[in-house]
Amino acid sequence: MVINLFIARMGAGGAERVCVNLANEWVKMGHEYAAVPMLRYIRKNKPPFLLVFGNEMGIIVNKLKKYHLINTPLIERVLNNINVKLGKEEKVSPIIEKYIRKSNAILIDMDYIVAQCDSMAQQLLDYNVVDSSKMQVIYNPVSLDLTEKVRSMRVDRPVKDNKEITFIGRIDPQKNIPHLLQAFKKLHEKMPNTTLRLVGTGHMDEQMKGYAAELGVSESVVWDGVRRDMENVYASSDLVVLTSEYEGLPNCLIEAIGCGIPVVSYDCPMGPAEIVVDGINGYLVEYNNIEEMIDKMYTALNREWQVREIVDTCAKFSARNIAERYIEVFNSVLEETV
């Protein structure tokens, strides 16, 4: 089977990693995939279906279909929370809000929808933007190559006095970095041998660096920006933390537990509650409860974790299992078009 993937951009974000992980797994399974200029490719090769990652590409291919430029079944993997208000972002422009609402509206036109988690699927149903008979929940895949490499790197790592807390994601309002920095400040007062490493970038970089300075923790906060060597990031991490306002299904938590690293996350809308097994692979913290976040971070850094138990909780995110689930969706859509 030739599988055609369509994504608006290939940066270093979570959706891009899901796209790459799936493509790599399908190649291992003997399938082919193509990533080429879209309309020219579709008109020339007439693929039996399109797998679309994200809202931007969904809007484009839906418009092509509306204008009868293509007549191809569309499968969209929904990327994020569709409730704009949950973002709590200041000064959301009318243009952005209109775009988000437009991207939600086109979901009903898709031939099939893949939701990243159960809570996302329920939200889509509650908003009446999908038909339950044309939707399936398929989790994000974790790269076995990455997790096995990291686990092997961590086996013989030297004992260190410093404890490293890691955040991986965009530096933007959704990720609620002020809460992360506030929690780290209080934790650092109790545990001066801690470092906070932020891996990622965004339009709030300078603002958050200024806030770290205001809190007096700049010397203990490392701003890495985009890293291409994620195996080294995870290998040196003692704890992965997330303080998001909302998520889709956070890859950083999935990858961390696959590497045997405990996690602490707010129980925010979409995702963390379906990843974190409280007390086994980390701790789930009451949404926006900074004091509980501090307490759970402290507890996580000062207990002996069973690495095998943490890794076992990642089994449902197996790339092979998830790649096979997508193949089932593709076959189902193809049967509908016969």
Half-sphere exposure at residue 186, Cβ-oriented, CA atoms within 13 angstroms? 14
The structure tokens listed for 132 are 């339950």
pLDDT of amino acid 88: 46
Categorize the per-residue pLDDT at 39 as very low, low, confident or very high, splitting at 50, 70 and 90: confident
Query: What pLDDT score was predicted for residue 213?
Result: 97
Check whether residue 114 and residue 170 sit in a common domain: no
* Among 2-6, 32-36, 259-263, 323-327, the least confident range: 32-36
Neighbours of 89 (CB within 10 A): 14
DSSP 127-149: TT-S-GGGEEE-PPPB-HHHHHH
Please give the pLDDT value at position 327: 95
Q: How many domains does the chain have?
A: 2
Instruction: Name the DSSP letter for residue 45.
Output: H
State yes or no: pLDDT of 279 exceeds 60.
yes
What is the C-alpha to C-alpha distance for residues 98 and 332, in angstroms, rounded to an integer? 33
- pLDDT tens-digit map of 126-144: 888 888 899 999 999 998 9
Length of the chain equals 338
Tokens at 56, concatenated: 């931007």
Look at residue 157 in the predicted model and tell me its pLDDT. 81
Quote the crossing angle between the two packed helices 251-258 and 14-28, to the nearest 10°: 50
Region 139-151: what's the mean pLDDT? 94
- Looking at residue 87, what is its pLDDT? 42
- Per-residue pLDDT of 159-182, as tens digits, reads 788 999 999 999 999 899 999 999
Backbone torsions φ then ψ of 135, nearest 5 degrees: -145, 145
Q: Which residue has the tokens 């991207």?
A: 103
Residues 239 and 110 in one domain: no
Structural tokens at position 197: 């490493």
Nearest CA to 307 out of 264, 273, 257, 272 is that of 257
Give the model's confidence band at 86: pLDDT under 50 very low, under 70 low, under 90 confident, else very high: very low
Q: Which domain holds residue 155?
A: 144-315
Confidence bin at 235 (pLDDT 50/70/90): very high
Least confident of 31-40, 139-148, 277-286: 31-40
* Higher per-residue confidence, 93 vs 45: 45
Question: Do 201 and 114 lie in a common domain?
Answer: no
- Tell me the Cα Rg of the chain: 21
Residues 302 and 327 in one domain: no
pLDDT class for 9, splitting at 50, 70, 90? low
Burial class (CB in 10 A: 0-12, 13-18, 19+), 206: exposed
Q: What are the CB-based long-range contacts (under 8 Å, 24+) for 42-49?
A: 42/70, 42/72, 43/69, 43/70, 46/72, 47/2, 47/4, 47/72, 48/72, 48/73, 48/334, 48/337, 49/4, 49/73, 49/74, 49/75, 49/111, 49/330, 49/333, 49/334, 49/337
Same domain, 157 and 304: yes
Are residues 162 and 268 both part of a single domain?
yes
**Do 245 and 293 belong to one domain?**
yes
Question: Do 302 and 159 share a structural domain?
Answer: yes
Across the chain, mean pLDDT equals 87
Asked whether residue 205 falls in the same domain as residue 93, the answer is no
Residue partners of 262: CB distance under 8 A and separation at least 6: 239, 240, 256, 281, 282, 283, 300, 305, 310
Q: pLDDT confidence of 92, banded at 50, 70, 90?
A: low
What's the Cα-to-Cα distance from 235 to each of 81, 133, 162, 164, rounded to whole Å? 30, 42, 14, 10
Are 267 and 126 in a shared domain?
no
Sign of the alpha-carbon dihedral angle for 228, 242, 284, 264: positive
CA distances from 175 to 87, 88, 198, 288, 308 (A): 9, 11, 11, 11, 29
Q: What is the DSSP letter of 220?
A: G
Banded model confidence at residue 250, pLDDT cuts 50, 70, 90: very high
What's 201's domain CATH number? 3.40.50.2000
Distances (CA, A) of 29 to 3, 36, 55, 296: 12, 21, 28, 41
Q: How confident is the model at residue 96 (pLDDT cuts 50, 70, 90)?
A: low
Is residue 30 pLDDT above 50, yes or no? yes
- Same structural domain, 219 and 322: no
18 and 128, same domain (yes or no) = yes
Specify the pLDDT at position 113.
Answer: 93
Mean pLDDT across the stretch 68-93?
Answer: 69
**Sole residue written with tokens 């537990």:** 257
